[in-house]
Amino acid sequence: MDRKEFFKRLVVDLPLYSTFNTLRDALFNALAVEPRKPMTRDILVGIITDRSYNQTIDDCQTELIRTFVKPEDEYRLYTVSTSCNIDLLYIVNMSATSVPKEGVIDSDKAIAAHQMLIGTVPESGGPRTDYSVICLAEKHELMTPAKYPKIIKHELVHAAINHIAADHSDIREFIRTAKMIRNGLSCIEADDNLPVPVEYEFIELVCNIVPYLSLPVKKENGIDKFMEDAVSVFGYDEDDPLLAEGIAIITEVKQEAESAAE
């Protein structure tokens, strides 16, 4: 599977847009109504303990939380169940200005990260629920007001892709191959001395651009709007050939889908 087929499968054959839209609406609704005040440490410890007992959190997710939230940090968290069968635990560090590069974090510039635990089909035969943890450092030295919602949405796209990939071996294989050079095993730190494969960069581009494409009726969406933000929000080099290649692939898939629908 090449990059074009990967993107086409996700957005034409599979429900990436609708899955992301469901996650976004559920999380941002929770952010709008739940308290923003810091929470006590025992709440987080209790959630980790309960999820460990129920096998709805794994070692990588626990390590992600412990990397992002130290005992001295203030934080708040949101637990969100969604109609697309993804259970979200979203944790915001309210005080740390950086995140250490360790364990599941492969860069000292990381502002947020996501880990998913694929669930099991219940004995009743009902739908499987997958469990996502997203952590974000809201006071990170690289954070800006413009980046804040974009970073959250980026991680939600990762969650949507991983959820879909659990049922589709071709998508899983593309992701596995892309990550192989980066980190080999899920909880092993990446080697910065190795080249980043174009497939990995493309997945990151997809996670950045899908929020601009999933609701095309909104005037602030679309590829042109993404390109306006590419440098200032996402840190792309405007002359980056991989960015140009990725946008060309995404544009081609979009145009083909629109032509087929006419």
What does the domain layout of the chain look like in residue ranges? 3-261
The backbone torsions φ and ψ at residue 68, rounded to the nearest 5 degrees and listed phi first, read: -80, -30
Residue corresponding to tokens 């174009």: 198
Beta-carbon neighbour count of residue 233 at 10 Å?
A: 17
CA 1 – CA 83 distance, rounded (Å): 30
The backbone torsions φ and ψ at residue 78, rounded to the nearest 5 degrees and listed phi first, read: -135, 130
Number of H helices, E strands in the chain: 9, 4
Look at residue 9 in the predicted model and tell me its pLDDT.
Answer: 98
Residue corresponding to tokens 């959820």: 163
User: Rounded mean pLDDT of 252-262?
Assistant: 90
CA 161 – CA 16 distance, rounded (Å): 7
Q: 117 pairs with which residues across the strands? A: 131
Residue corresponding to tokens 């007001």: 145
Beta-carbon neighbour count of residue 88 at 10 Å?
A: 23
- State the burial class of residue 72 (Cβ atoms within 10 Å of its Cβ: 0-12, 13-18, 19+): exposed
Note the pLDDT tens digit of each residue in 62-82.
Answer: 999 999 999 999 999 999 999
Residue 184 has pLDDT above 50, yes or no: no
User: Rounded mean pLDDT of 30-58?
Assistant: 92
Which of 102-106, 114-118, 237-241 has the highest mean predicted lDDT (pLDDT)?
114-118
- Going by their DSSP bridges, the two strands 75-81 and 86-93 should be labelled as antiparallel
Residue 206 has pLDDT above 80, yes or no: yes
Look at residue 181 in the predicted model and tell me its pLDDT.
Answer: 53
Give the closest residue to 150 by CA, choosing from 72, 208, 85. Answer: 208
Q: Which of 75-89, 215-229, 235-249 has the lowest mean pLDDT?
A: 215-229
Do 9 and 175 touch, CB atoms closer than 8 A?
Answer: no
CA 167 – CA 17 distance, rounded (Å): 16
Residue 191 has pLDDT above 80, yes or no: no
User: Rounded mean pLDDT of 51-55?
Assistant: 95
Residue corresponding to tokens 């847009």: 17
